[in-house]
């Protein structure tokens, strides 16, 4: 086995798929990248058994072979090189020798046959969506998914596809986000829950990628194919909760406010809130919003007044400031609307400037009981 590859191109691809490699793998083989050489293409794969990512790059070679090489050593070595051609040669002493401009480095390898076989989907359904649209859908929802392993269905994002739109939903029972696209649809109805890890990888890779991503899925697995790469993951098993039932339908109290001004104020006020509850108080009357917080343990408190547009009855409502900050950070609208019904019912945050023919986003945040 012998091939020549650009150090810069190889490092870029390894750093992307390196996100799959766990530091606590139960199988030592999973600490490696699988290199499959097929003449002038090199396919590199990484897996943690639940998620696998593969990508292919051009190389100079006339061989066909496969080896597994240690991920961490390879990435750490490539980071130190200036852009140059690297020659990889398999030797008789069970090592792969890397020849650079001014040095040689030998890595022990494992046979590629020992690497877990990549999942192939049987009878999958298929949907296509633009890469940057999928990245936005993931970015808008994944932060709201939970981390409780006792409720695994809430640790991923719910994909709900039909002939009218594509919906993406995430919740941890305290906050929820529903993101819908109306300019992309599926041929048949499908519902599945994708784990957080492959979505975090996709979010990073697809940002600014405006070509189509093909999503294939069946009852147990999903595969995302784009450019020369693909990510395959095992789906989370279980039935997603009826999220529509928790979205309050009547919300007569509506406040419109500048998102950045509101966000910065919430961040400031939260510094003075209780470090356990992160509770802040919103008091809205007329065109004024008062945001306040108090930490009785340390006698810290803060109060700010902001201008807003408001229609409805005067209201006082409490929220966890961390949830508000997360939601406001993940919107790109200049102004947002906060719609409420009562102090003990969820508030709905929506962007004001949005093309509702193409997309719609609803963020739901549960209130906290105020200490009066």
Q: How far is Cα 136 from Cα 335, in angstroms, rounded to an integer?
A: 18
CA-wise closest residue to 345 among 361, 324, 369: 369
pLDDT (0 to 100) of residue 258: 98
Low-confidence ranges of the chain (pLDDT < 50): none
Class of CATH domain 125-245:
alpha beta
Q: Does domain 248-365 have CATH number 3.40.50.300?
A: no
CATH 3.10.150.10 domain extents, the chain: 2-114, 125-245, 248-365
CATH value of 2-114 in 3.40.190.10, 3.30.565.10, 3.10.150.10, 3.40.50.10440: 3.10.150.10
pLDDT tens profile 27-79: 999 999 999 999 999 999 999 999 999 999 999 999 999 999 999 999 999 99
pLDDT tens profile 128-170: 999 999 999 999 999 999 999 999 999 999 999 999 999 999 9
pTM: 0.93
pLDDT (0 to 100) of residue 96: 97
pLDDT (0 to 100) of residue 249: 92
pLDDT (0 to 100) of residue 372: 65
Q: How would you write 212-271 as a 3-class SS string?
A: EEEEEECCCEEEEEECCEEEEEECECCCCCCHHHHCCCCCCEEEEEEHHHHHHHHHHHHC
DSSP 137-192: HHHHHGGGS---TTSGGGGEEEEEE-SS-EEEEEE-SSEEEEEEESS---SS-EEE
Number of Cβ within 10 Å of residue 179's Cβ equals: 23
């Amino acid at each position: 086995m012998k091939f020549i590859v650009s150090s810069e191109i190889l490092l870029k691809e390894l750093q992307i798929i390196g996100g799959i490699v766990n530091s606590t793998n139960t199988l030592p083989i999973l600490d490696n990248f699988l290199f499959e050489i097929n003449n002038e293409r090199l396919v590199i794969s990484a897996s943690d058994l639940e998620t696998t990512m593969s990508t292919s790059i051009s190389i100079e070679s006339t061989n066909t072979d496969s080896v597994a090489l240690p991920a961490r050593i390879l990435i750490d070595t490539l980071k130190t090189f200036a852009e140059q051609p690297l020659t990889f040669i398999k030797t008789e002493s069970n090592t792969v020798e890397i020849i650079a401009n001014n040095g040689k480095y030998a890595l022990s390898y494992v046979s590629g046959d020992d690497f877990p076989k990549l999942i192939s989907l049987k009878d999958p359904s298929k949907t296509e969506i633009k890469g940057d649209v999928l990245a936005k859908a993931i970015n808008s929802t994944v932060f709201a998914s939970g981390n409780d392993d006792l409720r695994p269905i809430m640790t991923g994002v719910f994909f709900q596809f039909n002939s009218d739109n594509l919906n993406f939903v995430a919740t941890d029972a305290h906050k929820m986000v529903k993101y819908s696209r109306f300019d992309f649809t599926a041929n048949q109805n499908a519902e599945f829950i994708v784990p957080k890890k492959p979505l975090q990888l996709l979010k990073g890779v697809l940002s600014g990628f405006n070509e189509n991503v093909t999503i294939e899925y069946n009852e147990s697995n999903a595969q995302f194919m784009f450019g020369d790469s693909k990510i395959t993951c095992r789906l989370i098993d279980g039935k997603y909760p009826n999220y529509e039932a928790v979205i309050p339908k009547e919300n007569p109290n509506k406040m419109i406010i500048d998102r950045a001004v509101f966000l910065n104020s919430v961040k400031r006020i939260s510094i003075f809130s209780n470090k356990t509850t992160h509770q802040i108080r919103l008091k809205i009357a007329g065109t004024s919003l008062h945001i306040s917080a108090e930490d009785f343990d340390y006698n810290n408190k803060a109060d700010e007044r902001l201008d807003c547009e408001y229609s409805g009855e005067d209201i006082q409502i409490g929220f966890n400031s961390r949830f508000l900050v997360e939601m406001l950070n993940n919107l790109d609208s200049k102004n947002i609307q906060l719609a409420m019904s009562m102090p003990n019912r969820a508030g709905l945050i929506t962007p004001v400037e949005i093309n509702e023919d193409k997309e719609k986003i609803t963020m739901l945040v549960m209130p906290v009981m105020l200490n009066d």
